[in-house]
Amino acid sequence: MSGANAISGITIVGALILSNTAFNSGNPGPAAWLAFIALVMATINVVGGFMVTNKMLEMIAGKRRKGRE
């Protein structure tokens, strides 16, 4: 999971850089809009990845607690 989050994080950084330069030029083209869409989708992917990772860690912690009791 962390590998997928790292790749999406790199995508977020690249999309931010491209969006910043494209939208500040005054006339955003298709590349700017694709960068914005990539930014939104990569952000959703990172947040979802963290939520899944947290859920998995809670499941493991729950099994450990039951074993000790």
CA separation for the pair 56, 65 (Å, rounded): 14
Question: Which carries the bigger pLDDT value, residue 13 or residue 31?
Answer: 13
Range 11-15 average pLDDT: 90
pLDDT-derived band at 64 (thresholds 50, 70, 90) equals low
pLDDT per residue over 20-51, tens digit each?
Answer: 888 888 888 888 888 889 999 999 999 998 89
